[in-house]
Amino acid sequence: MQMLATRRWDGSLLLKIALAAGLVALGDTVFWRWEQVGGVQGLFGLGLCLALLAGRPAVRRDRRALVALGAAVLFACALVWNPGALAFVLFWIAIGMATLLPATARFDDGWRWFQRLWAHGFKALFGPLIDLTVLGKVRRKRPTGQMGLRRVIPLLALPLAGGALFVTLFAQANPVIAALLAALSLPAFDWDLLPRMITWGVFALFAWGVLRPRPPRRLLGTLDATGDVTLPGFSLASITLSLAVFNALFAVQNLMDMAYLSGAAALPQGITLADYAHRGAYPLVATALLAALFVLVSSRPGSSTAASPLVRWLVAVWIAQNVVLVFSAAWRTWDYVQAYSLTTLRISALLWMALVAVGLVLVLVRMLHAKPLSWLINANLASAGLLLSVVSFVDLGAVSASWNVRHAREIDGDGAQLDLCYLQRLGPAALPALDHLAQHQPSWPAVSGLRAQAQARSESDIKYHWWTLAGQLRLGRSLALGKATYPDTFGVGCNANDLRD
C-alpha cells in the first residue's frame, strides 16, 4: 500500500507541477503583460490542451479522450477567432470530458456526464488542498531514518523561539544590536499586485483541475422511462381519445396557418401579416414542446400504449403535425423578419425551432424503435452540440447586419426599411455591412459617420483588452477600402430611422 501511494507521487507529479507553472506563466503573459482578455483566452485554452496531452498518458491512450481533446482544441480556436460565452462553455465541457473519459468504462448518457462534469468542477476548487493532504500522508509513512517536516518543526521550535527572545532582550540593553534590528525591515507589499496574484491562483486551479481529474465516486442512475406510467387519467383509452382530439385541433391550426401565411386566404380585418406572424411564433414552439412531453410520458417503450398500433399511428401523425407546427412558427418568424429586419435574437429563435423539430423526430424514432431514454438524451445533445459548435464560429450580429443591408428597401427596392440605429448598436460586428452600404449609398451622410464610429471602436478593442482574430481581419478589410471620417452633419440620436437623411 505504501509503495502504491509513493508511486502515485513519483516523477509524473513533478511534470504536472511544471506544466501547471508553465500555464500560470502563459496566463500571466497573455492577460497581464499583453493586457488582453479577448481572443487570448483561446491561447490559454490551447495551452491547457497541450498540457493535458503531455501530462496525462492515459489521455493519449484513449481514443475517446483524444476525440474530446480535439473538440476542445476546436473550441479554443473559436475563442481565438471570436470569443463568447458559447465557445467558452463548449471548451470547458470538451476538455472536462477529455480529462475524465480515461476513468470511465463507457460513455453512457448525458445525464450521468452532467453529474461527472459538475462534481469534477466542484472538486477542482479544492484539488491542491486535497493533494497536499495526500502528500502529507505519504511523507508520514517514510522510514524513520528520514527527516520529515513534522519532525523538523519540533526540533527547531525551541532554539528559534528562545533565540528570538534573547535577541529582543539584548536589543534593549545594546544600542548597536537595536540599530541593526531597526535597519532590518521587510519589503512593503505591493497591493497592486494582489489582483494579479489572484489570477495566478485561478490559472493554477484551472491547470491542476485538468491535470489531476477528480471523477465522482457515485452517480445517480440513468433515468428510467419505460413501462406504463402510473398517473391518474393515463389509461390506454384516455390516451387514445386524447391523441384523436389533439390531432383534430392541430389539423385545424395547421390548415389556418398554411392558408394565411401562403396568402391563399385573407386575414381578418385589422390584423396584418406582421401581427399574425409575430404573435404566434413562440407559443407554437411551446405547444410543440408540450406535445413532445406528452408523448414521452404517455407512450414510453414497454407500455401498453406504445404497443397499441392505433396509438402508434396517432402519435406518428401528431408528431408530424407538430413538425408542421414548428415549420409554421419558423415561417411566421421569417415573415416578420421580411416585414421588419433580421436580428440576432430572431436568428437564435429560428435555430431553436430547428432543434425542436429534430427533437420531435427523435421522440418518434424512440417510440417506434423502443429506444431507451439515454439514447434520446444523447441524440438530442449530439444534434444541439453540432449546431452550437458551428454557431460558436459565427458572429450572428454580423450575419444579421449583412442580411439587413443587402435586402433593405433602399438597396434592392424590396424588403424592410433599413434600421441604421440597429447597425450602430451592433458596433464593430456591423463593419462589413457598413462597408457594403458605403459603396452603394455614398450619399448618406450618416453612413460614413457610422462606419468611422465602427472602425474607431474596432481599433480600440484590438489595441486595448479585446483583440480577436475575426476583429483583426474585419478591421483590415475595412481599412483596405479606406479610412472613414465623420461628416460635419453627422449626429447620432438613435430613436428613429432618420440617420440616412
Per-residue pLDDT reduced to its tens digit, 201-224: 888 888 888 888 887 777 776 665
CA atoms within 13 A on the CB side of 127: 24
pLDDT of residue 501: 34
Q: Are 460 and 378 in contact (CB under 8 A)?
A: no
The three cell numbers of residue 138 are: 505519504
**pLDDT tens string 219-261:** 776 665 655 556 566 677 888 888 888 889 888 888 888 887 7
Q: Supply the pTM of this predicted model.
A: 0.77
Alpha-carbon radius of gyration of the chain:
32
Q: Is 442 exposed, middle or buried (0-12, 13-18, 19+ CB in 10 A)?
A: exposed
Q: What is the mean pLDDT of the chain?
A: 79
- The yes-or-no verdict on residue 347 having pLDDT over 70 is yes
Average pLDDT over residues 308-319: 85
pLDDT bucket at 66, cuts 50 / 70 / 90: very high
- The yes-or-no verdict on residue 492 having pLDDT over 60 is no
Residue 315 CA to residue 321 CA, distance in Å, equals: 10
Percent of the chain with pLDDT over 70: 78
Q: Are 102 and 68 in contact (CB under 8 A)?
A: no
**pLDDT tens string 398-420:** 999 999 888 887 776 676 788 88
pLDDT bucket at 332, cuts 50 / 70 / 90: confident
Q: Are 489 and 445 in contact (CB under 8 A)?
A: yes
Average pLDDT over residues 144-155: 56
Site of grid cell 452603394: 440
The residue among 444, 451, 429 whose CA lies nearest residue 497 is 444
